[in-house]
Amino acid sequence: MNQNEKILEVTTYLFSCRHDDPAFDSDDSYEHSDAAQALIDEYGWKEVFPYWFDYLQKKCPTEDDVINFAHLFFYYGGSEQPLRDPYPFVSYLYYRVNTAKYGADATDIFDSIVIPLLSNIGEISLENEPDYVPEKDPRILSGVEAWRKADTTG
């Protein structure tokens, strides 16, 4: 199995489960978490991230699937990894899920991903902007618009 096949196989294993399944990494088991860490350790985040993002775009057809992906991405430490330009990724979350309609379940886990990713690159600071709302961030809004255009033209 070559590198691409291996990353794809582990990515599918990591994201094809439900984060709220009581059996998921239960009773102090960290099977999935350990597999995610091992994958990143072996191939590097730069190689792994595109596969995770690709999974989100191709294998998460419903809003509920996207929210589940977000929980797993957070659990596997994706928001702690460096992303030089996180806007296309985070904008995609809001492009796919209308948080106003879906409510706190989406709002809170998306905030949990967006705030660390943007803080890591110095774009925001919760201490200086305690009321920061990603859905009002012009950079994210323009990213959502770009995804919308790509969808209608592509």
Q: Which residues are at the interface with another protein (CB under 8 A)?
A: 19-20, 24-25, 27-28, 30, 33, 71, 74-75, 99-100, 103-104, 107-109, 111-112, 115-116, 125-133, 135-136
Q: Indicate the residue among 56 and 115 with the shorter CB distance to another protein.
A: 115
Q: Indicate the residue among 121 and 150 with the shorter CB distance to another protein.
A: 121
Least distance between another protein and beta carbon 115 (Å): 7
Q: Indicate the residue among 3 and 37 with the shorter CB distance to another protein.
A: 37
CA angle 74, 106, 34 (to 5 degrees): 15
Instruction: For residues 138 and 148, give the distance between their C-alpha atoms in angstroms, rounded to a whole number.
Output: 15
Q: Indicate the residue among 83 and 115 with the shorter CB distance to another protein.
A: 115
Task: Please name which of 46, 36, 47 lies closest in space to residue 71, comparing C-alpha atoms.
Answer: 36
Instruction: For residues 139 and 85, give the distance between their C-alpha atoms in angstroms, rounded to a whole number.
Output: 11
C-alpha distances (whole Å) from 136 to each of 21, 50, 104 are 32, 26, 16
Least distance between another protein and beta carbon 114 (Å): 10
Least distance between another protein and beta carbon 2 (Å): 30
Residue type, 90: V
Query: Can you tell me which residue has the tokens 């984060």?
Result: 19
Least distance between another protein and beta carbon 146 (Å): 21
